[in-house]
Amino acid sequence: MATELVHFVNDQTFNEVVLKSPIPVLVDFWAPWCGPCKAIAPLIDKIAEENDGKVLVCKVNVDESAETAAKYGIRGIPTIILFKNGSVINQVTGAVPKSQLDAMIA
């Protein structure tokens, strides 16, 4: 199971883990009550597994980390954002197919 490859971050750890990462970071903004978030979760795990060491995969619970969600204008979930060198490189919202997520980090 890939879950140990997915890092859970919050308002307190986001800057250190995501923005200061030496490798690109794929961040899944989600909530436990969100059906599409649950649907996409196995795809996020798979991407973490396939890109271990090349891309850091993180999850941000928008209910617990409202400050970070607001900072990045998260209005719909799941929203997946790719960060590189602390900047937003790419972003998608909704339960998109894995091929679209793969294309984000290619």
Active-site position among 6, 9, 25, 37: 37
What pLDDT sits at residue 1?
Answer: 39
Q: Which is the CATH superfamily of the domain at 3-105?
A: Glutaredoxin (3.40.30.10)
Domain residue limits, the chain: 3-105
What pLDDT sits at residue 4?
Answer: 72
Report the predicted TM-score, pTM, of the whole model to 2 decimal places.
0.95
Q: What are phi and psi of 97, to 5 degrees?
A: -70, 155
What pLDDT sits at residue 3?
Answer: 53
What does the pLDDT profile of the chain (106 residues) look like in tens digits? 345 788 999 999 999 999 999 999 999 999 999 999 999 999 999 999 999 999 999 999 999 999 999 999 999 999 999 999 999 999 999 999 999 999 999 8
* 58 counts as catalytic: no
Active-site position among 6, 18, 25, 34: 34
* 34 counts as catalytic: yes
DSSP assignment string, 42-90: HHHHHHHHHTTTTSEEEEEETTT-HHHHHHTT--SSSEEEEEETTEEEE
Closest by CA to 83, choosing from 4, 29, 11, 12, is 29
